[in-house]
């Protein structure tokens, strides 16, 4: 199912953000090593909420949950994403995708595209590195730039992406040094350089390359129903146009048409617990933020009312009586969030 829609702005109030620890600007390195999301106090008047991604890939370490936790902050929200993360020849290598930056832009989150400058050798694998650390001075400079930047996150992200090729080159140089120092073989530099060359052509080429890869992944995702998802409908591709005419592509786990309504369903499943994890739920809520702000939703030129649904399933029969007190509290706050923001919660086997 292919849908088109528009987003003019985001209106949403989160209820499940955890309380963020406050660090002063001198303690940025400590904050990044100990917290997935935090408040950075620059001065008495200036504070920013910061989250960071372990990898550029959204399926690792729940980066959406990290970003979600900053959305209750009223000031500027920043997320730090590595342009590439290479774990060594025996590990994974992920590159930043334009779609990630697009989503952050829609959410009003400023992106700092960063690179790792330090790491340790894995004790378990000969050609793998671990405990990677960002270039702190670079990140401090970018935070300072964002604080003085007068335009919104979308404009910052578009301008910042123009520099992604240079950042990618710094990342590769950094990994070469790490490889020599730790005597660990990394993934092929040549294939990485090809990707970086594409990025050096600027955001238009970056968007084109990322779009092509994202659309391929999106088509694969649409054809593949993960067994853990416990879904019954068909997948949908949603093309969203923003107020500047930019296009974003997202998938819905499940879509169903009933009369003039199209239900866009994001599924989260738990195999071993009586409720999906809080991180999984927050991951799903980022899609709810998008889906609840859609306007002018069409399928084959016909207009529909879109209804956003977060579907929580468990391996055995879902029962509130099986939930712990903390899980009941999560569910209670989740229902409040759903009611206020206009989406539905479904719980079932």
- Whether 71 and 104 map to the same domain: the answer is yes
- Whether 281 and 152 map to the same domain: the answer is no
- Whether 198 and 265 map to the same domain: the answer is no
- pLDDT in the model for residue 250: 84
Q: Which of 173, 199, 216 is the last residue of a domain?
A: 216
* Residue bearing the bigger pLDDT, 333 or 322: 333
Residue 125 lies in a domain: yes
CA 70/CA 73 separation, integer angstroms: 6
Residue 49 lies in a domain: yes
- pLDDT in the model for residue 228: 47
Model pTM? 0.90
- pLDDT in the model for residue 317: 77
- Whether 46 and 149 map to the same domain: the answer is yes
Statement: residue 124 has pLDDT above 80: yes
- pLDDT in the model for residue 188: 92
Residue 9 lies in a domain: no
- Structural contact between residues 236 and 249, judged by C-beta atoms closer than 8 angstroms: no
Residue 244 lies in a domain: yes
- Whether 246 and 313 map to the same domain: the answer is yes
Which region among 33-42, 127-136, 250-259, 329-338 has the lowest average model confidence (pLDDT)?
A: 250-259
Statement: residue 244 has pLDDT above 60: yes
* Helix residue ranges, H only, the chain: 28-34, 63-68, 98-107, 136-148, 153-161, 164-182, 189-200, 203-223, 278-291, 325-341
Residue 108 lies in a domain: yes
- Whether 200 and 258 map to the same domain: the answer is no
The values of phi and psi at residue 245, to 5°, are: 90, 5
The values of phi and psi at residue 71, to 5°, are: -75, -15
Domain that holds residue 204: 36-216
For the stretch 188-235, pLDDT in tens is 999 998 888 877 776 777 667 667 776 777 677 666 555 444 555 688
- pLDDT in the model for residue 230: 55
- Structural contact between residues 341 and 13, judged by C-beta atoms closer than 8 angstroms: yes
Residue 15 lies in a domain: no
**What is the full DSSP assignment across 26-95?**
GGHHHHHHH-SEEEEE-SSS-EEEEEE-SSSSTTSS-HHHHHHTTTT-SS-EEEEEESEEE--TTS-EEE
For the stretch 260-293, pLDDT in tens is 999 999 999 988 888 999 999 999 999 999 999 9
* Residue bearing the bigger pLDDT, 55 or 203: 55
CA 95/CA 97 separation, integer angstroms: 6
């Amino acid at each position: 199912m292919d849908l088109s829609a528009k987003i003019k702005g985001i209106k949403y109030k989160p209820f499940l953000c955890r309380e963020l620890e406050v660090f002063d600007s001198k303690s940025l390195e400590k904050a990044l090593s100990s917290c997935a999301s935090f408040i950075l106090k620059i001065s008495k008047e200036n504070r920013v909420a910061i989250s960071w991604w372990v990898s550029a890939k959204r399926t690792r370490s729940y980066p959406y949950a990290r970003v979600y936790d900053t959305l209750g902050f009223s000031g500027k929200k920043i997320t730090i994403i590595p342009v590439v993360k290479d774990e060594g020849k025996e590990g994974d290598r992920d590159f930043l995708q334009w779609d990630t930056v697009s989503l952050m832009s829609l959410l009003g989150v400023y992106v700092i595209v960063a690179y790792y400058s330090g790491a340790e050798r894995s004790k378990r694998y000969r050609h793998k590195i671990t405990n990677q650390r960002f270039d702190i001075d670079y990140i401090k400079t970018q935070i300072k730039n964002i604080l003085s930047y007068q335009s919104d996150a979308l404009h910052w992200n578009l301008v910042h992406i123009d520099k992604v090729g240079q950042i990618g080159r710094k990342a590769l140089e950094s990994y070469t040094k790490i490889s020599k120092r730790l005597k660990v073989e990394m993934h092929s530099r040549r294939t990485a350089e090809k990707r970086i060359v594409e990025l050096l052509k600027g955001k238009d080429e970056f968007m084109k390359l990322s779009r092509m890869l994202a659309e391929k992944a999106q088509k694969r995702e649409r054809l593949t129903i993960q067994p853990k998802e416990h879904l019954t409908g068909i997948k949908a591709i949603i093309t969203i146009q923003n107020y500047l005419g930019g296009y974003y592509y997202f998938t819905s786990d499940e879509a169903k048409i009933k009369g003039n309504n199209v239900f866009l369903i994001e599924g989260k499943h738990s195999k071993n617990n009586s409720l999906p994890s809080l991180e999984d739920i927050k991951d799903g809520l980022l899609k709810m933020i998008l889906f609840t702000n859609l306007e002018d939703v069409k399928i084959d030129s016909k207009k529909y009312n879109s209804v956003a649904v977060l579907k929580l399933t468990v391996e055995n029969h879902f029962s509130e009586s099986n939930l712990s007190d903390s899980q009941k509290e999560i569910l209670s706050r989740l229902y409040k969030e759903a009611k206020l923001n206009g989406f539905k919660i479904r719980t079932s086997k």
